[in-house]
Amino acid sequence: MEAGEELGHEMRVIDYLKCHMNIATHRPSIYLGDEELKDYDAVIPRIGASHTFFGTAVVRQFEMMGVFPLNESVAISRSRDKLRSVQLLARKGVGLPVTSFAHDPKATQHLIKTCGGAPIVVKLLEGTQGVGVVLAETAKAAESVIEAFRGLNANIMAQEFIKEAGGADIRCLVVGGKVVAAMKRQGKEGEFRSNLHRGGSATVIKITPEERSTAVRAAGVMGLNVAGVDLLRSNHGPVIMEVNSSPGLEGIETATNKNVAATIIKFLETDAKEGKTKTRGKG
């Protein structure tokens, strides 16, 4: 908001959970209480992971009204589905940790074996910000964790553990097909997850051309104009951990001393055209 106002734009924060939609054939509209939300040039979706379904419906409604979204509804849904995003990235040849997925409880051994044996990382598909991510250091522990999640009817996937990353990952912030800022996040002692709110620390880092192109390609595969791409340095090059459609800006702006928010507003200034959404009319 501050960045937009400093650049001369009229900005407004709308609580999307308080919106309701009139899904009319010829005149789709969105209301906040009794007020109809209209005459907006662009929207910047900041959708909480637990409200992806409703949040993307609101973004989609804005798209139907011809309002330009910073990230499109389909792209947000794609990136939020961990399994779908991994499958799409794999299809396009983007570097990934070895990943396996199964439904049958009898396939637990195959899951572990596919990932190269213990230690492996077990992830809840619905998890976010490092919640629901478990490092199983032995095959027995992996079996126990997978069985526990399965007992809760949770969807999980297993990934190889990139030991050489040493509990650190790289967050690249991609805006309009360019990496505009990058930081290294280091997990605290004894913690393999590097999320900043878990006590991780952030430092500015110079990324390699391969890491830069991997981050840009990953955001492109998801269809995101703005994305926080998390990657690990593995023995076989950069591998993607996650592509985040609503990346936090405070941590990376503080670490890199770059005004990422202003870069995002400038992207909207040049790219926001009415009805320009690629996925308009598609599910």
Span 145-196, pLDDT tens digits: 888 888 888 788 899 998 888 878 899 999 999 999 999 988 766 555 555 5
Residues 15 and 147 grouped into a single domain:
no
Residues 89 and 223 grouped into a single domain:
yes
Residues 35 and 61 grouped into a single domain:
yes
Residues of the chain scoring pLDDT < 50: 280-283
Token pair in block for residue 18: 């308080």
Residues 246 and 121 grouped into a single domain:
no
State how many domains the chain has. Answer: 2
Residues 88 and 191 grouped into a single domain:
yes
The pLDDT assigned to 146 comes to 86
Closest CA to 241 of 74, 47, 99, 72: 99
Residues 148 and 58 grouped into a single domain:
no
- What span, in angstroms and rounded, lies between the C-alpha atoms of 227 and 244? 5
The pLDDT assigned to 150 comes to 82
Q: Which of 161, 180, 209 is the last residue of a domain?
A: 161
Q: Which DSSP letter does residue 187 get?
A: P
Q: Note the pTM of the prediction, 2 decimals.
A: 0.86
The pLDDT assigned to 155 comes to 81
Residues 129 and 19 grouped into a single domain:
no
- What span, in angstroms and rounded, lies between the C-alpha atoms of 117 and 111? 9
Domain that holds residue 28: 1-95+163-283
Max CA-CA distance within the chain? 60
